[in-house]
Structure 1
Amino acid sequence: MSLARHDLKVMEENNQTSQERFILLGLSNVPYLQVICFLVFLLMYIITLSGNLLLIIVVRINPKLQTPMYFFLSNLSIIDIFFSSSIVPKLLINTLAIDKSISLIGCALQMYFSLSLGATECVILAVMAYDRFAAICRPLHYNTIMNKALCFSLAAGSWSICFLNSAMHVVLTFRLPYCKSHHVKHFFCEMPPFFRMSCRNTLFNEMLMYIGAGIIVMCSFCLTLISYIHIISTIMKIRSSHGRHKAFSTCASHLTVVSLYYGTLMFMYMRPRSTYSAEIDKTVSILYTAVTPMLNPIIYSMRNKDVKDTITKQRKQEIKTFNGKG
């Protein structure tokens, strides 16, 4: 009886240890591929930080850019910086480190912030599409529609709703017992892999995930799509072929990034559990955690004449100041 109690105590201690730490899988087990992955993701992370920080600074210093569009773009850049920072630094460490473990608290925080910021980006993208709809399809009423109070309310509401929604999902996810394994078949803490690790029926958690994803992702995507349908319809009425081509070029670029982001999120969070694959999950997650935050400042602003003119003017001013001091 004493031996049985001892064995039971050891099992409980092992189970408690597995509950306290999780092991994240890297992107590759091949040494030279690990180095390549590290360098590629480090470069992408540097581009993400520098591109988004540059956009925030440019909007801040140029009074001409104090408009609703650039207000939402600044929000998007802040989201992308923190979204990427919640995942990529840990990924870079785990790519080369021998110890790929993460604490329960660290994992919960990573899941919470990545989920919250990812959802907020969905809503902000939809709000940005509505802003463009108001500017192109209702130009005479644009300033009345997109006033400061509405812009602030839309931004604050987007952040608040998504952060509250994610808190519920994360709390329920980490209340599940993980007795099958503490090895997460993913490179960061995300809900779907955790459902497969639990020894309890996760149907309730999955249904909540589908409902949350359906409300936030699908509604945001539909609003974005409807806005762009109206925008394209208005563009078609432009008589100048050069004007139509320029407008279509901009819309195509925006829709490419939006479709990539929404598409990968819907694939990750709205497909049946039976179709999950660890390798496919990792590939899809890379697109919306690393690639999209890097592309957003390039697609949405770096091709913009006002942004480029501000950067050029600032560089000339800095060179002039430096030469004057010299």
Structure 2
Amino acid sequence: MCEANQTKVLQIYLLGFRGLNKFKPLFFIVFLLSYIVILGGNILIITVVSVVDHLKIPMFIFLKHLAATDILMTTTVLPMMLNIILVQEGTLSVFGCITQLYCFATFGSVQCLLIAVMSYDRYLAICKPLRYASLMNPHISFQLVIGSWFLSILLVSAELTLMCQLNFCGLNYIDHFLCDLGPLIELSTSNKLTSMILDFISSIFMVSLPFAFIVMTYIYIFITILKISSANGQKKAFSTCSSHLAIVCTSYGTLITVYLMPTDYSEVNINKYKSLLYIVVAPMMNPIIYSLRNPEIQRAVHKLLNNVKMSKTSI
């Protein structure tokens, strides 16, 4: 409950990027184009994997779901961020703010788990090639995708249920462009210890353990590749996981920079601009990495475009 001299907060104001002034149109255009690239690139990945038969294998099925989480996560944040740039600030109810945080955290957590699952897929393909078909069949890949969603929703729901019990009194603004966990906890007037402990536990399951698993699988992958006698065989083996490794570096590099590197929550401007790395840069880079580095995706895109052209000419 709020004290007698405090007002219960019903709405939270997101201050966004204050002081943009003449740079506001530039920021708006840059982020709008980034959002279009994110939507276009990831929708293209989803379409190609769904339509082209020879891409309906576990690695590309995981990639399709990863592209879907990129779209969902950025759509949770970017449209409102664009509006904040235009009108200087955004307004959300406390429930709306927690809902945005819930969606953002869930999609981000699923993404972390999917990247870890993809590393396991690459481990089986390179280190256990003879058993790959039995260990990673469509049924198992479907279970891994569903498991990633279930575990993420379960942990984030537990954390956000506790957030709903916090009191928000007095201050009602966040110097950010989204309702991120740190600034929202700082805004609460309740005892924050339990929320911070649960957030720490969730980050271990959602970020630290998947990252440790990825590192472990790639250690085995590199050891296996080094044991291959021919240079051509080593190159071919490495090419099968190079795109995924690039995504690991992009996604986890930005994630660790934003959320795991020690930064005081009071350093709002630093955290705010660092968040753009994970929310804008990583989702934009993932489809670019796969379209540029994966020859199968390139061939599938060319085939799809040719089919579209042929259908137009036949009309």
The question of a shared fold, defined as TM-score above 0.5 by the shorter chain, is answered with: yes
Report % sequence identity.
36
Once the two structures are superposed, the pairs formed by residues 295-310 of structure 1 within 5 Å of their partners are: 295-310=285-300
Which stretches in structure 2 are left out of the alignment for 5+ residues?
Answer: none
SS in 1 for 2:215: helix
Match of 2:98 in 1: 108
Q: What is the RMSD computed on CA atoms of the aligned residues?
A: 2.1
Amino acid at match of 2:119: A
Unpaired segments ≥5 residues, structure 1? 1-7
Could you tell me which of 73, 76, 91 is aligned with 2:66? Answer: 76
Which letter maps to 2:45? L
- The alpha carbon displacement at 1:26 in A equals 1.6
The answer on whether the counterparts of 2:122 and 2:241 sit within 8 Å (CA) in structure 1 is no
* Residue matched to 1:150: 140
Q: 2:280 aligns with which of 269, 273, 290?
A: 290
**One-letter amino acid of the structure 1 residue matched with residue 47 of structure 2:** I
Q: Is 1:281 aligned to residue 260 of structure 2? A: no
Mapping of residues 1-326 of structure 1, within 5 Å:
15-16=7-8, 19-245=9-235, 247-248=237-238, 251=241, 254-270=244-260, 274=264, 276-325=266-315
**SS in structure 1 of the partner of residue 19 of structure 2:** coil
Which SS does the other structure have where 1:236 is aligned? helix
Question: How far apart, in 2, do the equivalents of 1:181 and 1:199 lie?
Answer: 9
SS in 1 for 2:227: coil
Q: Quick one: structure 1 residues 193 and 67, their matched pair in 2 at CA, closer, same or farther if it must change by over 3 Å?
A: same
* Partners of 1:173 and 1:191 within 8 A in 2: no
1:27 Cα deviation after fit? 2.5
Between structure 1 and structure 2, the one with the greater Rg is 1
- Give 1:28 deviation, angstroms: 4.0
The offset of 1:189, in angstroms, is 0.6
For the structure 1 residues 93 and 126, does the alpha-carbon distance in structure 2 shift closer, same or farther, using more than 3 Å as the test?
same
1:176 to 1:270, Cα distance in 2 relative to 1, 3 A: farther
Alignment TM-score, normalising by the size of structure 2? 0.91
Q: Contact 2:113–2:148 at 8 Å: present in 1 too?
A: yes
TM-score (norm 1): 0.88
Provide, for residues 217-242 of structure 1, a one-character-per-residue CA deviation record: whole Å limited to 9, x for no partner: 11100111111111112222334435
Which residue type is aligned with residue 103 of structure 1?
A: S
For 1:14-50, what per-residue CA distance to the aligned partner results, in whole angstroms no more than 9, with x for missing partners? x23xx22111122342222222111111111111111
Following the alignment from structure 2 to structure 1, what is the Cα–Cα distance between the partners of residues 45 and 242? 21
Shift in CA distance, 266/276, structure 1 to aligned 2, threshold 3 Å: farther
Q: Is the 8 A contact 1:27 1:37 kept in 2?
A: no
- When residues 277 and 99 of structure 1 are mapped into structure 2, their CA distance, relative to the original with a 3 A threshold, is closer
Aligned to 1:4: none
Q: Is the 8 A contact 2:42 2:68 kept in 1?
A: yes
Q: CA deviation at 1:243?
A: 4.7
Q: Structure 2: which amino acid aligns with 1:233?
A: I
